[in-house]
Amino acid sequence: MELEKARSEDLPQPLIEALKSANRPVPMITARVDREISEMARRHFSVRRQPARVPRRAWAAMAATVLIVVFVVQLQSPGPDQAVLYADIDRSGRIDIADVLALARAQGPGERSQAELDAFALRIVSLKRPGDSS
């Protein structure tokens, strides 16, 4: 105790004064002040915009839309088999309806569906040139 008192007396006088001034009692907060602060806080937070809440149905609708778009894109894009369908099947040196006939008459693994044969034939008669996007 004596040692502690001796240490405190070693502190510089301005610091001792500053510590004493900071050690004042906490001012009393009355009920009125408390109400006013509460009211101010309520007003402040009432003007803040509430975060937009998307209803669950809207999420479901958006998810369904995305699924439909993906499905349609999948339908329209040619599959890997269709991409190689336009070919000189009979090795005549050109691609024409005889190639579609040869493909249609092929049996076994090379057998194609009517839709694939139609797509092949329609590509043969198309007036669009390769690379023509119009």
Q: Which residues bind another protein (CB under 8 A)?
A: 90, 92, 96-98, 100-102, 104-105, 118, 121-122, 124-128
| Least separation in angstroms between CB 105 and another protein | 7
CA dist 123 and 120 (Å) reads 5
What are the residues whose beta carbons fall under 8 Å from the beta carbon of 86, sequence distance 6 or more?
A: 95, 120, 123, 124
For the chain, give percent helix, strand, coil, nearest 5.
60, 0, 40
Residue 95, both tokens: 């691609």
Please identify, using beta-carbon distances, which residue of 20 and 129 lies nearer to another protein: 129
| Least separation in angstroms between CB 92 and another protein | 8
| Least separation in angstroms between CB 51 and another protein | 44
Please identify, using beta-carbon distances, which residue of 35 and 105 lies nearer to another protein: 105
Please identify, using beta-carbon distances, which residue of 63 and 106 lies nearer to another protein: 106
| Least separation in angstroms between CB 106 and another protein | 11
Asked whether the beta carbons of 104 and 87 are under 8 A apart, the reply is: no
